[in-house]
């Protein structure tokens, strides 16, 4: 079981690294802290019973034009945009997407499984604070010396007509 867990963590870390590194992101971490929960039920995004989980609170910077590729989270995510302007695009139905612009001081919630992408559509750096919960066994991925994160899972881009 431990070997399977290590392989799962390695695969998730590799996929997320490809997801973010492949997009030429220059994200810079400002703050990062985690805590653990002994038992959390991820519903359809877990094994069907409560498991140990990690809660993450993170702040990071996105430069103008940076885009976080299509992804989802297994737990609810809470986002506060401290500074800047973001455009979040998310899948709402097969072959249909919706976008919303978020400005400094705004907050939004991403439910588990919502496939979405986020772009800094402003002229200045954006400072994002976010919190999420994810299975402890999925681990934390170090994307660059300046940025690490957990709870981000790559998704195929939807056909947004």
Per the rule left: phi > 0, alpha: psi between -120 and 50, beta: everything else, 14 is: alpha
Residues 115 and 70 sit within 8 Å (Cβ to Cβ)? yes
Domains recognised in the chain with CATH numbers = 2-154 (2.60.120.10)
Q: What is the pLDDT of residue 25?
A: 57
Q: Is the pTM of this model over 0.85?
A: no
Residue 53 CA to residue 122 CA, distance in Å, equals 34
Q: What is the pLDDT of residue 161?
A: 73
The model's confidence at residue 11, banded by pLDDT at 50, 70 and 90, is very low
pLDDT of residue 12 exceeding 60 = no
């Amino acid at each position: 079981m431990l070997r399977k867990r290590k392989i799962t963590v390695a695969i998730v870390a590799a996929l997320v690294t490809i997801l973010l590194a492949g997009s030429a992101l220059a994200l810079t971490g400002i703050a990062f802290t985690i805590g653990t929960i002994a038992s959390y039920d991820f519903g359809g995004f877990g094994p069907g019973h409560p498991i140990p989980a990690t809660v993450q609170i993170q702040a990071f910077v996105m430069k103008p034009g940076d885009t976080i590729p299509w992804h989802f989270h297994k737990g609810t995510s809470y986002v506060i945009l401290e500074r800047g302007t973001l455009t979040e695009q998310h899948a709402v139905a097969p072959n249909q997407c919706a976008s919303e612009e978020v400005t400094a001081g705004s907050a939004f919630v991403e439910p588990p499984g919502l496939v979405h992408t986020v772009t800094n559509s402003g002229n200045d750096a954006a400072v994002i604070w976010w919190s999420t919960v994810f299975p402890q066994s999925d681990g934390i991925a170090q994307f660059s010396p300046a940025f690490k994160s957990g709870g981000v899972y790559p998704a195929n881009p939807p056909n947004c007509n």
